[in-house]
Chains A and B, each alone.
Chain A
Amino acid sequence: AQTVTQSQPEMSVQEAETVTLSCTYDTSESDYYLFWYKQPPSRQMILVIRQEAYKQQNATENRFSVNFQKAAKSFSLKISDSQLGDAAMYFCAYRSAVYSGGGADGLTFGKGTHLIIQP
C-alpha cells in the first residue's frame, strides 16, 4: 500500500514571501499521479497542482510550483509571493495510474500542513 508523509503540521510565512511544503511518499509503482490540494475552512478540496510521474519536468501553476524527485520519492510544493488567500490546509496526495477497481483507484492523502500567512 502506498503511504504519503507530510512532516510539517504547521508552517507560517510572511505575506509576499516564499514557502515550501514538504511531502514524501512510498510506492512500488512506476506510473502514478501526485497532487497538492488546498482545503480552506469551507472544506472544499481545491486542486492546486498536479504532477504525472512519467514527466521529468516539474509542474508549475502561476505562483505554485513543485520539486518532484522521483528517485527520492519527494514532492514538495513551493508557493511564491504568498497571499492571505493562500492560508489553508494543504494536502499532498498520491493516486495510482494503474486501474485496480478498488479504493486504490482513489487518493491516498498525507495528514496535511496548516499554512498560516502573516500579514
Chain B
Amino acid sequence: GAGVSQSPRYKVAKRGQDVALRCDPISGHVSLFWYQQALGQGPEFLTYFQNEAQLDKSGLPSDRFFAERPEGSVSTLKIQRTQQEDSAVYLCASSFLTGGPTGELFFGEGSRLTVL
C-alpha cells in the first residue's frame, strides 16, 4: 500500500494475555521504528530495525516485549503476559535509511492496546 499500515487498530486484552501487533511499512523503506505512546504523552522509542536486523532494542521496557522483522518488511511487536501499564498506543514508523533527503518518518495509525 501507499502508507504504513498497522493492525489491529484496537486491542483489548485481559491481564496476562499475549498480544501481537503488526506493522506493514512503506515498500522499500529500510528503517522501521516502534514507539509507545502513553495517554497524553509524546511517543517514546521502543526498537529499531534496519531491514531484518534489530539494531536497537534499548527502549523495550521489559523482556515481555519482543519484536521481529524476519524478511525485512512486515514487523510484529509481541507483548507477553500483558500488564495494565502496557496500555498505550503503539506506533510504527518507517523511512529510508537516514530518512533520505527529507529526514521524514512515515507513521501508521497506531494500535491502541487496552489491558484490563
Contacts and interface: CB of A to CB of B under 8 A. Distances in A.
A35 B56 CA distance: 23
A91 B42 CA distance: 7
A43 B109 contact: yes
B interface bracket (residues with beta carbon within 8 Å of A): 20 to 34
Nearest to B89: A43
Given A47-B104, A50-B102, A103 B33 contact: yes
Contact of A35 (B44, B58, B97, B104): B104
Given A106-B45, A109-B42, A112-B41, A101 B50 contact: yes
Query: Most chain-B Cβ atoms within 10 A of its Cβ — which of A52, A103, A106?
Result: A106
A44 to B, nearest CB: 5
B55 interface: yes
A85 interface: no
B33 A106 contact: yes
Contacts of B25: none
B42 A95 contact: no
B44 to A, nearest CB: 8
Interface of A: 4, 33, 35, 37, 42-45, 47, 50, 52, 91, 95, 97, 99, 101-103, 105-112
27 contacts: A4-B42, A44-B107, A44-B109, A45-B43, A50-B102, A50-B103, A91-B42, A95-B105, A97-B99, A99-B97, A101-B50, A101-B55, A101-B56, A102-B55, A102-B56, A103-B47, A103-B48, A103-B56, A103-B58, A105-B99, A106-B31, A106-B33, A106-B35, A106-B45, A109-B44, A111-B42, A112-B42
